[in-house]
Amino acid sequence: MKTNKRFAVLKAGTANPGARERLGDCGEMFISLLSEPGETWDIYDVEHGVFPADVSGYDGFLISGSRYSVYEDRPWIKKLLELVREIHRREIRLVGVCFGHQAVALALGGEVGLNPKGWDIGLKELTLTDAAKGLRSFKDVPNPTRILVSHMDVVTRMPDHALRLAYSERTEFEMFTLGRSVLSLQGHPEYDGEVIGEIIDLLSGLSILPSDRAAEGRASLNGHPHNVFFRDLLTGFLQGSDV
């Protein structure tokens, strides 16, 4: 189906060198995953201070992951949170992924902090809430539903009136929706297992990731994420379908 819709990735981070060589940077990964014929997609490098001058010409935005925490005192993060609030006020479709998930939650009244359960990295199984099971978009969801993750921060409280859609063993708020214009998820549907493996190696080499979590994460990569399901979920949402 051809459209003339316009979307943008708010690129809050930079992929590791191996991923960039194979898949492109964060913005290109999402465009490859989500773009449909006839659409226009722009990338704004918000991590380095590049923001859209006007959001009104867009049908939807997606905020990527990042190596930063949303509660850090950085000018570009503050500006991004303000932009999230503006996009939400205008009821433009907004998707948050990983750091983006946390930015959406924090900007709209939720809370974010370090996960008391520690690092969550690898291929994880999500448990859908009863609310999610009753939604049209989750009618044919794979069971169990698997997604790749890499994070230490988590949403600790959702914005008021948000609807929790999924949780996992170490992450209480894996996915939520807010009204008709916000869909937010902690996992990475744009990644493949090789990307996560490279991140595990990098974090382990820097002595950031505990050895037990590194081993657990690597072992989990024998499975397969349900990226096709998440692609269909996000593209349908950005196109204007209800969750």
Confirm whether 26 is a catalytic residue: no
Paired residues of 41 in beta bridges: 7
C-alpha dist (Å) from residue 14 to 49, 70, 223: 14, 15, 26
Select which of 88, 101, 151, 188 is catalytic. 188
> Do 24 and 32 contact (CB within 8 A), yes or no?
yes
Catalytic residue among 39, 47, 174, 190: 190
Backbone angles phi, psi at 154, to 5 degrees: -145, 160
98 has catalytic annotation: yes
Integer CA distances (angstroms), 243 to 14, 42, 64, 68, 103, in order: 29, 24, 20, 29, 20
Instruction: Read off φ and ψ for residue 50, nearest 5 degrees.
Output: -100, 115
H or E element, residue 230? helix 227-238
* Count of all residues that appear for the chain in the document: 243
Q: DSSP characters for 142-179?
A: -SSEEEEEEESEEEEEPPTT-EEEEE-SS-S-SEEEET
What one-character DSSP code corresponds to residue 112?
E
Contact criterion met (CB below 8 Å) for 56 and 6: no
82 membership: H or E segment, kind and range: helix 75-89
Catalytic residue among 88, 98, 151, 226: 98
Mind telling me the catalytic residues? 98, 188, 190
